């Protein structure tokens, strides 16, 4: 579930739609949390859905550490990539703001953390743009993302949290807010091997998937 102080809007002609803040959102705010309406599709279920849904899954789903495809039910599926993302995963099943977000600012995360299968060209326009986002970026930048998250964690219990009911485990989150060293690493979300939906022919490569939006 996406933070309620957000709206869907036009990001750019190159990117399309994006998610924007409608009010100031302070650092440490939980911006997205996995909820019971989000779809978590096992490889078996994806296979049963057939080819009719493949393009939608490629566009809107991402892999979690268990090899499930996660499809957000609300506008969270339109959150775009940015090489200087203001939303980063905590290592639990929610993302937080790693800096203050102004009204009208687009909310973005780093697709390098979404278990990509293939490289894509970046159009974020940042001065720090990596130009191409690679599956290997998860390992290259995970330590940097962890530092950002731990820098924001002390604010988690000091700012309003409309999504608090969807956060788990609350006890550990509060403990990590008191001592950010107790926060988990984003590597908890790392998928080591992509799941096989069907047995591919000898020498064949598995088909890559796109990120969240």
pLDDT single digits (tens) 52-110:
999 999 999 999 999 999 999 999 999 999 999 999 999 999 999 999 999 999 999 99
Q: What is the pLDDT of residue 192?
A: 84
Tell me the domains of the chain and their CATH numbers.
6-38+73-186 (2.170.270.10)
The proportion of the chain whose per-residue pLDDT surpasses 70, expressed as a percent, equals 91
**Do 30 and 156 meet the contact criterion of CB atoms below 8 Å apart?**
yes
Cis omega (within 30 of 0) on the bond before 24? Answer: no
Q: What is the pLDDT of residue 196?
A: 64
pLDDT single digits (tens) 1-14:
999 999 999 999 98
**Do 18 and 11 meet the contact criterion of CB atoms below 8 Å apart?**
yes
**Do 85 and 211 meet the contact criterion of CB atoms below 8 Å apart?**
no
Strand partners, 25: 101
E strands present in the chain: 6-12, 16-21, 30-33, 39-41, 61-63, 69-71, 80-81, 87-89, 94-97, 106-109, 120-121, 132-133
Position 203 pLDDT exceeds 50: no
- The total of other beta-carbon atoms located within 10 Å of residue 116's CB is 23
Position 208 pLDDT exceeds 50: no
Q: For residues 184 and 176, what is the distance between their CA atoms, to the nearest angstrom? A: 8
């Amino acid at each position: 579930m996406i933070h309620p102080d957000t709206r869907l809007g036009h990001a750019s002609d190159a990117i399309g739609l994006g998610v924007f803040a409608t009010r100031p959102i302070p650092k440490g705010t939980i911006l997205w949390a996995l909820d019971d309406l989000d779809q978590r599709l096992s490889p078996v279920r994806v296979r049963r859905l057939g080819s009719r849904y493949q393009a939608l899954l490629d566009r809107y789903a991402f892999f979690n550490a268990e090899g499930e495809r996660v499809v957000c039910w609300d506008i969270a599926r339109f959150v775009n990539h940015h090489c200087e993302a203001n939303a980063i995963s905590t290592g639990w099943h929610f993302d937080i703001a790693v800096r203050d977000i102004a009204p009208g600012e687009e909310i973005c995360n780093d697709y390098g953390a979404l278990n990509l299968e293939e490289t894509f060209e970046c159009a974020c326009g940042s001065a720090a743009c990596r130009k191409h986002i690679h599956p290997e970026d998860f390992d290259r930048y995970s330590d940097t993302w962890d530092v950002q998250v731990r820098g924001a964690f002390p604010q988690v219990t000091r700012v309003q949290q409309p999504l608090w009911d969807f956060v788990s485990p609350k006890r550990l989150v509060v403990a990590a807010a008191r001592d950010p060293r107790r926060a988990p690493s984003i590597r908890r979300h790392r998928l080591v091997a992509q799941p096989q939906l069907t047995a591919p022919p000898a020498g064949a490569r598995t088909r890559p998937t796109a990120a969240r939006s």
